[in-house]
Chain A
């Protein structure tokens, strides 16, 4: 806790020398102020309490480590009908993308938006990120705000006719990508954003989502199935009165992933659900860090995170519910569970509650263990072979998190991907 302090850091010189993208006055000011924040905070290090369980070295070094591209025929994407926006190695690709017009929403590129003098995005870009820096510093997000030049800017003014899917293709083994999306869901509007793909050898992504009163935002993301890629993502959400925010992330493989969700309730009677399922094998480090601030009455927040780890994979969960004084009638729930398939894997968790209001119901739970022997025996006694029985139990374990998604079709699709992951590992 406490205010960020200036740290002397070998990276400081490098940061001070960064050249920021060109843009309109407001955009340059936002970037400059973000860079100042990073320099004040310093890049994260092993001694930072917030990075106790995850070594940020791969994420904040000057160059990205090379990451091999796996040989796969699966192109990113979901079967549901959607408006497709494609990025190749972190650069918007107009040819592969659909026409960016859709009833109920406006879509722009960050590059264009930051060049125009007047745009609604100035009230969101870097603003939610900055708000999310207190009480815990998130320097990699501020760095993103400072240097990002590409991303999408979406404004939903009504009910979007269909979901927007953002697909990330990879061609380069060394692409070091910074993307920044800005989303605004206006009063009573509805938007679903789907994301798929590994994006880069190293990815630093920030999504800022401003949901106005009565707005609804759904977000489903999968992070590809590349083994060597590294990623740090932040979603900053600001929730107005009676709004709804739902975000789910599926992570399969990846050498290093840190997904942060930083949400704040600013209006009463709103709901936020964040969930994630992660499966990893061997050189896999996956960190879910969630920080939900209740600063309004009668809001409900829910965190459901599940991880399946094997062959020395490591899972991390850092969750926090902060209920500010006056945020009465808060209902906060948080669960993190890990299934360790062998003795080399690890799960490290820090599920926190910080509560300053009395009329609240907050609970959290965290469990870690192996596959239930009794359940396994039951399936075996019914003639299910061992490997199959284990797979069934793994899928059942992950289903709790996947059930957080409203769309049944997507649930099925994700389960199929998990099934495939399990099968690939059979040999």
Chain B
């Protein structure tokens, strides 16, 4: 680790980064687990389990049928093998598909009724769920030096949503922000209309499984012309052992609205692998804009590749109206295996899609991630900036598709994929697909692969920065374009994560 006294005196060094490196003492700081009584349903997945999950969530019959249809489909399809990831076969019958803290069996009326242990968990994660109370009860609280902007949080613990903050304030603006289960209960029309309309239940193996067994996840509806007054965020925590997490997020931005959504995830250190198969669907109407940022920090497994999360996620945004805009930003540092391609369907004319990604893989991590930009409307624009960093014995793949359909006249895409290799035992791969079917569109793709510049490293070293701190500094610089696209709250966390994720990758 960096020695504080060595570093403080140096000028011209990005102090934030140096501090970030110093502040970390363990390799994975979210590796603890909460000792809380859990209630499981039996292991495995079958029709009865699907019904049981539906029942646990008090769902109407149409939802149960929807799940069953997805299960029926899932039982007929095979797990995809095309990604450049290698993991032992998952026994889908040896997993718990639903786990909830016992104290949640009776739904708490407010956060006050929530098991303090749960709230403690989120406190530990640095997520101030109680904030709502202060702001709701005490007028003077607003005079307190607020930590930047207000952020509404929906916290998910294994299979259940623990609580959602700032609900009232959001409701005043007309914004609906709640767990998906509440939405099925309270806003069935919206859910019926949009659920599965972007990622159909038959989309792919993992999305189909999710459609059958999902529980928890967030639901957001921003009405026409509304600029969501604060950032919305979800924190996912897998705590229980042998449990899969299958959350489903549905965001609808109606005409002319705007919302920024943040997502964070952590899990305890365990020596068995855990499955996470989420689906995120975003519907964006005319002139609306959605920013979706993720800092994915699931447990990546230890330095010998034992344990860690299998992260098989389907994320897609559909720009249905003209001038709709979506921006995906992701910092992928965790998970043993990542399989994730947040995509944009640019259906409306002049709609825009952006994808910024940093994927860091260290030790035995494997990441196969990228995006799809599907241009259907005229004058649509997309931009892809992907930075992959591999260290240790990790494999990091960018896989992406840019497709210009024949009717997508005058469209534009720019793609940049850069890979950085640290050490000679890791791999960095680029697998782009480019399909251009009209001639008024322009598509450009660039990719480079290189190692950390020795001269830059030497420059830092001769100024007294130790090797790991120097490396974090250089990597943060390499990924700067993506870090800048993140909201403030996440940018700092992401910089720190870059440093932690690379620990032990030099020397």
Contacts and interface: CB of A to CB of B under 8 A. Distances in A.
Interface of A: 1-2, 49, 325-326, 328, 338, 340-370
A328 B424 contact: yes
A344 B437 CA distance: 7
Interface string B277-299: 00000000000000000000000
A348 B429 CA distance: 19
Interface in B246-297: none
Given A358-B426, A367-B445, 17 more contacts: A1-B84, A2-B81, A340-B438, A340-B439, A343-B438, A346-B436, A354-B427, A355-B421, A358-B423, A358-B451, A360-B421, A360-B449, A362-B448, A364-B430, A365-B444, A366-B445, A367-B443
A364 B447 contact: yes
B447 A350 contact: no
Nearest to B427: A356
B439 A325 contact: no
B419 interface: yes
B443 A369 contact: yes
A345 B439 contact: yes
23 contacts: A340-B436, A340-B438, A343-B409, A346-B437, A347-B436, A350-B431, A350-B432, A352-B432, A353-B430, A357-B424, A358-B421, A362-B448, A363-B449, A364-B430, A365-B444, A365-B446, A367-B443, A368-B436, A368-B441, A368-B442, A368-B443, A369-B439, A369-B442
A49 B84 CA distance: 14
Given A1-B84, A348-B434, A359 B424 contact: yes
Given A368-B443, A369-B439, A352 B431 contact: yes
Given A325-B424, A341-B439, A354-B427, A359 B451 contact: yes
Contacts of B406: 343-344
A361 B84 CA distance: 22
Given A350-B431, A352-B432, A364-B430, A343 B439 contact: yes
A368 B447 CA distance: 15
B430 A352 contact: yes
Given A358-B422, A362-B448, A367-B445, A353 B429 contact: yes
B471 to A, nearest CB: 13
Nearest to B425: A325
A350 B401 CA distance: 9
A355 B432 contact: no
A95 B443 CA distance: 51
Interface string B458-493: 000000000000000000000000000000000000
A370 B446 contact: no
A289 to B, nearest CB: 14
Interface string B70-109: 0000000000011010000000000000000000000000
A49 B81 CA distance: 12
B435 interface: yes
Contacts of B160: none
| Of B423, B435, B440, most A-chain CB atoms within 10 Å | B435
Given A343-B406, A348-B436, A350-B431, A363 B447 contact: yes
B186 interface: no
Q: Nearest 8 A-B pairs (CB), nearest first?
A: A340-B439, A358-B421, A368-B436, A369-B442, A349-B434, A353-B430, A370-B439, A366-B445
B197 interface: no
Contacts of B68: none
A366 B434 contact: yes
A49 B82 CA distance: 9
Nearest to A2: B81
Contacts of A364: 430, 445-447
A353 B450 contact: no
Interface string B11-44: 0000000000000000000000000000000000
A350 B429 CA distance: 13
Contact of A343 (B431, B432, B440): B440
B162 interface: no
Contacts of A341: 439
Contacts of B426: 356, 358
A326 B427 CA distance: 12
Contacts of B431: 350, 352
Interface string B406-418: 1001000000000
B184 interface: no
B428 interface: yes
A355 B434 CA distance: 20
A358 to B, nearest CB: 4
B66 interface: no
A340 B439 CA distance: 5
A343 B410 CA distance: 11
A336 to B, nearest CB: 9
Given A361-B450, A365-B446, A367-B445, A348 B435 contact: yes
Contacts of A361: 448-450
Contacts of A367: 442-445
Contacts of A348: 433-436
Q: Which of A325, A346, A349, A355 lies at the interface centre, i.e. has the most chain B CB atoms within 10 A of its CB?
A: A355
Interface of B: 81-82, 84, 404, 406, 409, 419, 421-451
B449 A362 contact: yes
Nearest to B433: A350
Nearest to B420: A358
A361 B450 CA distance: 5
Contacts of B445: 349, 351, 364-367
A363 B448 contact: yes
Contacts of B443: 366-369
A374 to B, nearest CB: 13
A338 B421 CA distance: 31
Contacts of A362: 448-450
Given A49-B82, A348-B434, A355-B429, A369 B447 contact: no
A353 B431 CA distance: 7
Contacts of B84: 1, 354
Nearest to B431: A352
Contacts of A328: 424
Nearest to A317: B434
A367 B404 CA distance: 13
A368 B434 contact: yes
Nearest to A53: B435
A1 B427 CA distance: 15
Contacts of A370: 439-440, 442
B507 to A, nearest CB: 15
Nearest to A364: B447
Contacts of A357: 421, 424
Q: Which of B440, B444, B449 has the most CB of A within 10 A?
A: B449
Given A353-B430, A367-B442, A358 B436 contact: no
Given A361-B450, A363-B446, A368-B443, A355 B419 contact: yes
Nearest to B428: A355
A340 to B, nearest CB: 3
A338 B437 CA distance: 11
A355 B427 contact: yes
Nearest to A323: B449
B450 to A, nearest CB: 6
A364 B440 CA distance: 23
Nearest to A315: B436
A343 B406 CA distance: 7
B447 A338 contact: no
A355 B449 contact: yes
Nearest to B413: A368
Contacts of B421: 355, 357-358, 360
Contacts of A353: 419, 428-430, 447, 449
Contacts of B448: 361-363
A49 B83 CA distance: 12
A344 B409 CA distance: 11
Nearest to A347: B436
B339 to A, nearest CB: 15
Contacts of B422: 358
Contacts of A345: 439
Contacts of A354: 84, 427, 429-430
